[in-house]
Amino acid sequence: MKWIGKPIVRKDALGKVTGETKYMTDLYFPDMLYGVIVRAGVPQELAGMALRRNIEIRSHGYFDMPSADKGIEGAYGLPHILYGSMTCVALVEVDTITGQVNVLKVVSAPDAGRIINRQGLEGQVEGGVVMGLGYALMEKVIFNTGRIINDNLDTYLMPTALDCPEIVVTPVEVIEKSGPFGAKGIGECTTGPIAPAILNAIYDAVGVRIRDLPVSMEKIFFALQNGTGIYRKGMRSHTANSE
């Protein structure tokens, strides 16, 4: 390890010490009276020194997100330069007597660029699956004369641990050159494909298309009974047409 900066008062360390580190910029020890910029041959040396002195290592950095050169006509601002994506497959069982749907298994294949934190990525995908499940089968805000009438969790239904299916996460790691460390991120795209996957699985299982979310037992029942195999908003009996 080689010291390449002079010790100065900690509060001035970031502003007055010049130098660089091999692995991170603006490195200093916040629990020491003096701070210096150091260069370590390998990260283990620096970590070992901090461990022996019982101090915390911190770093400061930034990533300047690139932007598109051209906007989209009629849109606000420039389009995002990086987009995450995900493919999802759902396995369901449907009771043809009652219309009850159980989601048994979901397989998600996210493309988030380089995986930096595998556990974090899997947790994000699992959370997105459960959110999408609620959107597909349970969650609905009901209004009456402008007021929400299901404003409590005993009437606004959300998935619980008992509703969660087996979730398999199979990342597709395609390095994004313009992203930090090759990553693209994995956020809202984890929720988007869940409802379509569940609805397609219902269609594959019993041959009915539901055009109105959330998919309730009644909607599947009426879609099975009306002879068209389609349920749209407003259907209430087996005599309702599909127009």
Tell me the catalytic residues: 188
Residue 61: both structure tokens together: 């950095």
From residue 84, how far is each of 59, 125, 165, 226 by CA, in Å? Answer: 27, 12, 24, 40
Residue type, 111: D
With beta carbons less than 8 A apart as the criterion, state whether 171 and 231 touch: no
**Chain-centroid distance, C-alpha 165:** 17
Angle, helices 118-137/194-206, rounded to nearest 10 degrees: 60
| Strand segments (E) across 20-84 | 34-35, 38-39
201-233 burial: b if 16+ Cβ within 10 Å, else e = bbbeebebebeebbbbeebbbbbbbbeeebbbe
**Distance between CA atoms of residues 240 and 243, nearest Å:** 9
Residue 235: both structure tokens together: 């259907």
With beta carbons less than 8 A apart as the criterion, state whether 120 and 114 touch: no
